Structure 1
Amino acid sequence: MASEDQNAYVIVTGGSRGIGAATARAVARAGYNLAITYKSNSAAADEVIQAVEQEGRRATARAFDMATGNVEELFQAFDSAGLGQLHGLVNNAGITGPIKRLTEVDQAMLDDLFRINISSLMLCMKEAALRMSTARGGAGGAIVNVSSRAGQLGGAGEWIHYAASKGAVDTLTVGAAKELGGEGIRVNAVSPGLIETEIHAAAGAPERVEKMVGGVPLGRSGAAEEVAEAILWLLSGKSSYVSGANIVISGGR
């Protein structure tokens, strides 16, 4: 599928691995140029850039820490990368934090988690909206926030803190869709369930998917590519009347 504008580009935060990397590849196949962020793994980011360029698209990667970085400067750097006009933003970068019960969380952990999962995500939405808004001379576009099924299930006994941050993302998605719809910007979310990515090991539970997959009605875990296809649909004109939606990708769980 080719994009409507071969000089349009999409930003994918956290685009060097997992769902972000799968999304970057899918977006490139659809004909868009790519800008991705990554925290520290430059080799993984380079692999994604190479894959995008093999699709004949232009791409750039920028090391960026969502906990401490300046989002305005990040977008200004992408403005100067020669990728064309901004068409879409995929807010994928995020952390779960360690597995803890409510009675075990601490202020420092929450500050880091909410800065990355909520504050920086919201600032990325702001910067994207400033560029895409038809009221400001933009061509419109789409924002897709990568939330989590935990935002609806609550994350009890594992990462109630992470679930709370994703619940905020869900609310932000609905509110922004209402604010920005009249300016040509659609805002949606996806809520993945048990997906085979590195996020479980990063939280200290590499066996988590295997232990919990029995509770999935479809009887298996999901793949990052399956989430990426839903994100791509939300970025594309095929979902032109969809805004404020949250697509659950959880095998029925």
Structure 2
Amino acid sequence: MATETEWMRLTAEELRARAAAGALVIVPVASLEQHGPHLATGVDIVLGTGVAQATAARIAAAGAPVVVTPCVWTGLAEHHMEFGGTVTLDYAAMAAVLGGIVRSAARHGFKRVMLLNGHGGNAEAVIQAASELTIALGIKVAAGTYWHIVPEVIAPILDRQPGLMHACEAETSLMLALRPDSVRLDRLPEAHGPMSTRVEGQPAGLALRRSFRAISETGVIGDARTASAEKGEKLLAAISGRLAELLLNPTLWA
């Protein structure tokens, strides 16, 4: 029988044992928001959870203890609000939620936590929260957005994009692999937009938040028209494999 990694499927006693064994806690962090004309609003929840669970399965297969909490399903999505279908928090509320989860884990004896983000608007927030919690709790709290951590395994699988964007070739392929019932295939011909959220002349290191309505008529960044379930399976395997390799590195947690 495969080792169970889902926190909510383990008993309190079993979780105490995982903590005593030095288990890593992975907290998937996502958002509930518009994803163009062809994808349901739960994309980041599905993909964040899927990547976290696939990564945990690989860590467990390597013989290391690990648990995955239920997904934090809402985050910072103000830039999608004009399209409708979106739920957003402010940073104070999000930081409080993340803090409550990590503090609970720490009180139960867990010493290592990974805030594994699956929504671009949360990228800076999870890093800031992890830094504050590491100092406050005296445990190791890491954070990162999965496509920012392992871009090198994503790009070779895609045909029309250099990396994962929004409601794009990558996200749509992953959804076709994980939740095909949430993809409106008849709307795929419309599922394309600009290849960047930055305006001409704006370098990657210069941040200026804009509404996605002002950037993309469809709400898509990238081009989903060549998405496929096969690509999605390859992406999930590549992303989870590389993430597991990184998180298994003992030097990271030293």
Bigger RCO (CA 8 Å, 6+ sep): 2
Larger Rg: 2
Please report the TM-score for the alignment, with normalisation by the length of structure 1.
0.29
